[in-house]
Copies of this chain bind each other. A is one copy, B any other.
Amino acid sequence: MKKRQVQASVKDERLVKKRRDQMIKGAVTLFIQKGFHRTTTREIAKAAGFSIGTLYEYIRTKEDVLYLVCDSIYDQVRERLYEGLDTKKGTIESLKQGISDYFKVVDEMQDEVLVMYQEVKSLSKDALPYVLKKELEMVAMFEHVVTLCVENGELDLAMEEVKMIAHNIFVQGQMWAFRRWTLQKMYSLEQYIQLQTELLFQGIQGSASAVEFQPDSRSQK
């Protein structure tokens, strides 16, 4: 499945890239504030720094903007996720590191993750599969890392368990963003990482006192 093409009237590829980057940047800000539906194309154009006419030289419909935004955010997250997970050698330690890196990425890109998360559903039936595919690719990265641990004998898991775990990790990352209204009141990022990692590895029954919880390490925002 190739990248879904968004048609532009302008030919110059470099310019298209540049203008779309402006557009995406402006749109993300607006979508964060008011959501996709409550943001007008005029506002997007303005935030991007050009006229409404120019906006439509680079997209066909408003929904194209949403697609471009989602696509861009996914790419960024994935890229950063990839950096972190790429070099892992299939040890538990490296898995923990990978999770920690991912949670930090989500933390840094909270707003973007939130937007992507809340607005994908507004994508047309046409565009949705392209975006969901990217999501699955990210899940697959975790799957891969966990699988390596299994192959190395560090973990003993069935394939179904591996998949489930990968999904859980992925969602727990997103959760930090979409439940921030409560989670981030209770935990610092470090605590969140520590707790989730511990629970993931030890489970409930073995978790007690496995790690010393540090209530004071909460980072201020």
Looking at chain A's contact residues, the main secondary structure is helix
CA gap between A92 and B203 in the complex, in Å: 13
Are B35 and A121 neighbours in the complex by a CB distance under 8 Å? yes
Interface-located stretch among A12-20, A69-77, A81-89, A208-216: A208-216
Give the interface segment out of A22-30, A103-111, A164-172. A164-172
Chain A 189-212 against B: per-residue CB contact (8 Å), 1 yes, 0 no? 001100110111111111111000
Shortest Cβ distance from A96 into chain B, in angstroms? 10
CA distance A196 to B203 in the complex (A): 11
Q: Which bucket holds chain A's interface residue count?
A: 35 or more
Q: How far is the CB of A138 from chain B (nearest CB, A)?
A: 12
Q: Give how many copies assemble into the complex.
A: 4
Which one, B121, B167, B186, B203, contacts A202 given CB within 8 A?
Answer: B203
Residue of B nearest to A209 (CB): B156
CB within 8 Å of B: which of A27-70? 35, 37
CA distance A136 to B203 in the complex (A): 23
A182 to B, closest residue via Cβ: B136
Cβ of A152 < 8 Å from any Cβ of B?
no
Hey, which bits of chain A sit against chain B, CB under 8 A? 35, 37, 92, 118, 121-122, 132, 136, 139, 155-158, 160-161, 163-165, 167-168, 171-172, 175, 179, 181-183, 186-187, 191-192, 195-196, 198-209, 213, 215
